[in-house]
Structure 1
Amino acid sequence: MDEFARVLRAWRDRVQPEHVGLPPGTGRRARGLRREELAMLAGVSVDYIVRLEQGRATNPSAQLLGALARALRLTDEERDHLYRVAGVATPTPASLPRHVGPSVQRIVDRLGDVPVGVFSAAHDLLLWNPLWAALLGDPSLLAGFKHNLVWRVFTEENTRVTHTAVGEDEFRADLVADLRSAVGRYPDDAPLRDLVDRLLSESDEFAAHWEQAHVALHRSSRKTVHTRTVGDITVDCDVLSAPGSGDLRIVVYTVAPGSADAAKLDLLRVAGLQDLTHH
């Protein structure tokens, strides 16, 4: 694990906080990210980051390595090196891509005035900007399947986001059809198979949609987000694909300029982000 610890420290040192949407702060001694900041971005404890950098933690999981690669803005080659020196098989073309490369990360960093999230083809939320968290809740507080949009839609009561009755039916049907399309493209991806199996056992509604064998890609919708800070905001949701991004989806929420919804989003950009900072 010596090489693993060495590259982890080196890559942490080169990432500046403003590159990952964090305030630079004052009185910093760290050349790049602090251990606390990397731990927050990767969703692990600070103690675990310390043990990884000291070579005292062994057998990190592929899921953790993916989270570290995204937090550290690694290229595909650097990510693969991280996997190899950790003794974990590198992602293969048969596996569903879950790595967010630097170019897509820069898109998210630059689009600070609109909520943006990056999803895998299986609808796992991989990356988001602060305004996304202010609007929809902080994803860093979620774990396991709760990072998956399809799982949350079909197994949890969602009082934060609503569609029209027709829009809700179409949204749910499109999600299942999109997931089936991912299964067709990545039939050997074990986490994807596990997700589908769990959904089939946990949700009769999902199972009913799955039986229809509809295949499609979810591209856009309109929804209303109920926020505690500024009230209801109706947004247009568009799903974009970045060429060469490995089948990732960039989800962008926008509102009509000059509208009441735009004014609320402007207010949320200030008040909502302050709430996140104080948590």
Structure 2
Amino acid sequence: MRGEGPDLATLLRSWRARLRPEDVGLPFGADSRRTPGLRREEVGWLAGISPDYVQRLEQGRAHPSADILRALARALQVSKAEFELACRVAGHAAEFDGMVPQLIGPSVQRMLSRLADVPVAVFDAAWTLLEHNDLWVALHGETRSRPGRSTNLVWRAFHDDPGRVRHPTMPDHKASLVADLRDVASRYPRDRQLAGMIGELRRTSTEFARLWEGSAVAHHGSERKTIDHPQVGPIELDCDVLSVHGADLRIIVFTAAPGSEAADQIRQLTTLDIPETASSGTAA
């Protein structure tokens, strides 16, 4: 039986109450907190929605779209079972059936907060940015606030938007992304957003269309890359792509050999001022 607004409201309030700012890497201070858990403005900041809308959701006066529900689930670090419950209550269960997973579990969130000395970001299987740590922002100068598909690495690669990353061989990089995306599309044939992005790329990029019509299926993996940083200068780093089994997420980590010039440059990044709004962006 489908639940109504107040049921979802109760879930959202309870999930907000169990989190602390330090659990999600928020820059907000913990002084003078009157109630346990996150504040509504903190949830809104994490999910990319207004505090007023969070309040209306918690009061049962608004019904979230599927995209907002997914953003709230990530912000509140809910489990897969909790997310499925929220989908059923909100009437969105069918919309998420067969879609590329974007839920980041608590263990991955903890990893992001604890690996503070290396740039780390989490992407979904189709290479859309979901989350990152502060050092990722310092290295790439990007945030999650980029609109729509512009946080997707494949979209950016074929729209001449590689960010600060200099790839060893750009044609090979693009070919590996397309081959990998073809495999993802075969696993999630019912994902309308993924199909829409692929269709748009085929219409707007002759290079993508040519590669898409090929037969290669591969996985985009690790390689050495150069980041052209405007303050620190070129930084040569190892870029490794890790997989989260069961969640179908990609974790991109940039590292440098101990004692190397690049390691010193990474340490310099920690002294840079990072805008508060970018605390939790991108091209790899």
- Alignment-derived partner of residue 175 in structure 1: 177
RMSD: 1.8
Q: What letter corresponds to residue 43 of structure 1 in structure 2?
A: G
Q: What letter corresponds to residue 46 of structure 2 in structure 1?
A: L
Tell me how far apart the structure 2 counterparts of residues 225 and 91 of structure 1 sit (CA, whole Å).
38
Query: Would you say the 8 A contact 2:129–2:144 is kept in 1?
Result: no
Query: Would you say the 8 A contact 1:237–1:253 is kept in 2?
Result: yes
CA, structure 1 residues 48+156, in 2 after alignment: closer, same or farther (shift >3 Å)?
farther
- Alignment-derived partner of residue 117 in structure 1: 121
Partner-residue secondary structure (3-state), 2:175: helix
Structure 1: gaps of 5 or more residues: none
Counterpart pick for 1:194 among 193, 196, 220: 196
Greater mean deviation of Cα atoms: 170-179 or 88-97 = 88-97
Query: Would you say the 8 A contact 2:131–2:144 is kept in 1?
Result: no
- Identical positions, percent: 49
- Alignment-derived partner of residue 276 in structure 1: 275
Structure 2: gaps of 5 or more residues: 279-284
Cα deviation, 1:13-57, whole Å, max 9, x if unaligned, reads 111111111246122234121222211211122222122122222
Tell me how far apart the structure 1 counterparts of residues 191 and 236 of structure 2 sit (CA, whole Å).
35
- Alignment-derived partner of residue 71 in structure 1: 75
Partner-residue secondary structure (3-state), 2:271: helix
Cα deviation, 1:206-234, whole Å, max 9, x if unaligned, reads 11211222110011122212223322222
Counterpart pick for 1:5 among 4, 9, 12: 9
CA, structure 1 residues 173+30, in 2 after alignment: closer, same or farther (shift >3 Å)?
farther
Tell me how far apart the structure 1 counterparts of residues 277 and 195 of structure 2 sit (CA, whole Å).
38
Is the counterpart of residue 36 in structure 1 residue 37 in structure 2?
Answer: no
Partner-residue secondary structure (3-state), 1:77: helix
Greater mean deviation of Cα atoms: 73-82 or 227-236 = 227-236
Query: Would you say the 8 A contact 1:51–1:57 is kept in 2?
Result: yes
Query: Would you say the 8 A contact 1:118–1:127 is kept in 2?
Result: yes
Q: How does 1:93-242 map to 2 (within 5 A)?
A: 94-164=98-168, 167-242=169-244
Q: What letter corresponds to residue 229 of structure 1 in structure 2?
A: Q
Tell me how far apart the structure 1 counterparts of residues 21 and 68 of structure 2 sit (CA, whole Å).
20
CA, structure 1 residues 196+24, in 2 after alignment: closer, same or farther (shift >3 Å)?
same
> Under a length normalisation based on structure 1, what TM-score does the superposition of the two structures give?
0.91
Q: How many residues align?
A: 273
Query: Would you say the 8 A contact 1:41–1:140 is kept in 2?
Result: no
Query: Would you say the 8 A contact 1:98–1:120 is kept in 2?
Result: yes
Tell me how far apart the structure 1 counterparts of residues 103 and 277 of structure 2 sit (CA, whole Å).
29
**Higher helix content, 1 or 2:** 1
> Under a length normalisation based on structure 2, what TM-score does the superposition of the two structures give?
0.90
Q: CA deviation at 1:278?
A: 7.5
Tell me how far apart the structure 1 counterparts of residues 95 and 132 of structure 2 sit (CA, whole Å).
22
